[in-house]
């Protein structure tokens, strides 16, 4: 049984269908990529999973139980944490205090200070978040999510705005976190090389519909995926990544 299962979910906003009978899952211990062009419905899917939106139809289950009967504030207590496309931190608080905020609903027993050290931020633990480099802020938000002791971690464009070196460091960190924290990771990302390099499986959305699912190599070669990203008349000489 999958740890997370999204089944036939439809989400409408007036006359716009953001998700159209979308189904996908994530097995325990997997890193799963959710990709697609801008406006494909990726963040909407995250917002349904975390109960910011209630879908018009379909079901979302976590560890065999419906998430749709949980209020939003209970989602983190059930073991689901997320980061955001636009970093959401308390800029006046220190790095350590931001991570402590994430521990208020934690299910695990790891000390926030240990998590700060784990993500490589021990040297700035006492500094306020305001004024720190963007890549550092991304790691602070990641540490805050870890502090809640999640089983499922949702990462919304974690590589966005990072340079090549930072992306490589992040890829290694996520791989270690999966093992060390016994995590399942679902990530939305536009950085194709990053996704294809760390994901076990990839699901592809386009205009709210699931158009492909499979191993990274299979998805890269799928004609529907190539058309969604590059247009029907473009035949790439190499994979999307």
In order along the chain (241 residues), what is the average pLDDT of each group of 10 residues? Answer: 95 96 97 94 96 97 94 90 88 94 74 96 96 93 94 95 92 96 95 93 96 94 87 49 50
CA 146 to chain centre: 13
Report the alpha-carbon distance of residue 185 to residue 158 in Å, rounded: 12
* pTM, rounded to two decimals: 0.91
Supply the pLDDT for residue 105.
65
Q: What is the pLDDT of residue 87?
A: 86
Distance separating alpha carbons of residues 223 and 211, to the nearest angstrom: 10
The reported pLDDT for the residue numbered 103 is 86
43 and 212 in contact (C-beta within 8 Å)?
no
Q: Which two tokens stand for residue 185?
A: 């990771």
- Count of C-beta atoms within a 10 Å radius of residue 204: 25
Q: Are 219 and 202 in contact (CB under 8 A)?
A: yes
Return the pLDDT at 240. 55
- CA 120 to chain centroid: 20
According to DSSP, the β-strands at 201-206 and 31-35 are parallel
pLDDT of residue 83: 93
The ranges assigned to domains in the chain are 30-51+71-230
Q: How far is it, in rounded angstroms, from Cα 186 to Cα 63?
A: 15
For residue 141, the 8-state DSSP code is H
Closest among 101, 83, 92 to 127, alpha carbons compared: 92
38: tokens are 């801008």
Please report where in the chains the tokens 């240990």 appear, as a residue: 114
CB 138 within 8 A of CB 87: yes
Domain 30-51+71-230 has CATH 3.40.390.10: no
């Amino acid at each position: 049984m999958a740890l997370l299962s999204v089944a036939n979910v439809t989400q409408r906003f007036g006359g716009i269908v953001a998700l159209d009978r979308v189904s996908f899952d994530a097995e325990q211990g997997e890193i799963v990529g959710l990709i697609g062009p801008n406006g494909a419905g990726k963040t909407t899917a995250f917002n349904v999973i975390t109960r910011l939106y209630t879908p018009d139809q379909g079901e979302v289950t976590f560890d065999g139980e419906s998430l749709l009967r949980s209020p939003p504030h209970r989602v983190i207590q059930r073991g689901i944490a997320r980061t955001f496309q636009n970093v959401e931190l308390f800029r006046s608080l220190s790095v350590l205090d931001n991570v402590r905020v994430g521990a208020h609903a934690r299910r695990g027993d790891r000390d926030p200070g240990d998590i700060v050290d784990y993500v490589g931020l021990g040297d700035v633990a006492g500094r306020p978040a305001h004024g720190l480099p963007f890549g550092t802020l991304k790691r602070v938000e990641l540490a805050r999510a870890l502090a809640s002791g999640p089983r499922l971690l949702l990462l919304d464009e974690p590589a966005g705005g990072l340079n090549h070196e930072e992306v490589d460091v992040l890829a290694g960190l996520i791989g270690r976190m999966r093992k060390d924290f016994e995590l399942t990771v679902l990530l939305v990302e536009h950085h194709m090389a990053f996704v294809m390099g760390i994901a076990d499986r990839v699901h592809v959305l386009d205009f709210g519909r699931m158009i492909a699912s499979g191993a990274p190599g299979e998805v890269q070669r799928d004609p529907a995926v190539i058309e969604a990203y590059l247009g029907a008349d473009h035949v790439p000489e190499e994979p999307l990544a």
